[in-house]
Structure 1
Amino acid sequence: MTPINFVLILVNTLILVSGQFLWKYGMMKSGQSFSSLLGILKLLLSPYILTGLILYGAATVLWLFILSKVPLSVAYPIQSLAYVFALFGAYFFFGETLTSWKIAGVLLIVAGVAMISVHGGR
């Protein structure tokens, strides 16, 4: 796998995580609920939720391009770095707890991604 493909996968992953952060923030700010169809529609059209949906659409287009260049068995595990970005982002942006078990799990993910990135093409 070329370095540019690795960077594209990382960019795609960051776009996805950014979309998730926007959804989380939008849900925290929203007074809308899932109790009615109108409430759901208003929620989907709120700026943070809508922007997150747009980011997901952009990430999907980028992902299709990535899949045309990189084997799925290599690209998808690298995309699991989203867990790493989400864990630390949730800690810094939303004040969520960061436990030793979460950090250990993330280290295992990083180790797996490193193994696939280095030896994935073989």
Structure 2
Amino acid sequence: MAKYIPFILFTVLTNAAAQLLLKHGMMQLGELGVAGTHPILRLLQIVFSPFVFLGLCTFVISMASHLFVLSKVELSYAYPFLSLAYVVVAVAAYFLFREDLNAYRVGGIALICIGTVFIAQGGSHLADESAAVSPPPAEVSR
């Protein structure tokens, strides 16, 4: 299953990048309570602002990567890795947005990392089983 770790980490990083892009985009938009603006127009303004739109597109890439991963490994193996996106987002938000990274958050991040290591050590059997279940190629006789 180690060969799928890069794909899982790509999913994690694109998920985190999407969150950071969305946050930046919403910060740029500022106060959206413009009087007289129709809610649909406001929604379109949000969705099509550059960083929000890029964040949404990045989410699509992340989900496509996650679907590929799910086709190769067990859900109970792949899904917990997504918690690493919180680690990436928390650290990046500290540096990019000056968000608080207090002792409780650092402790939680440490527990997430430890838990992910335990899950990774457990491995996944889905891809291994599909290789084991496949019959050997049939020989053609004439």
Larger-Rg structure? 2
| Inter-CA distance 95–40: structure 2 relative to 1 (3 Å threshold) | same
* Partner residue in 2 for 1:7: 6
Q: Give me the identity figure in percent.
A: 37
Report the structure, 1 or 2, having the larger helix content.
1
Q: CA RMSD in A?
A: 1.5
Alignment of 1:31-46 (within 5 A): 31=30, 33=32, 36-46=39-49
Preserved contact between residue 22 and residue 51 of structure 2 (Cα < 8 Å): yes
* AA matched with 1:63: H
TM-score by length of 1: 0.93
TM-superposed deviation, 1:32: 5.8
TM-superposed deviation, 1:100: 0.5
3-state SS of the aligned residue for 1:80? helix
TM-superposed deviation, 1:121: 3.2
3-state SS of the aligned residue for 2:120? helix
Unaligned runs of 5+ in 2: 126-142
Aligned to 2:76, which of 73, 77, 82?
73
What is the aligned residue count?
121
TM-score by length of 2: 0.80
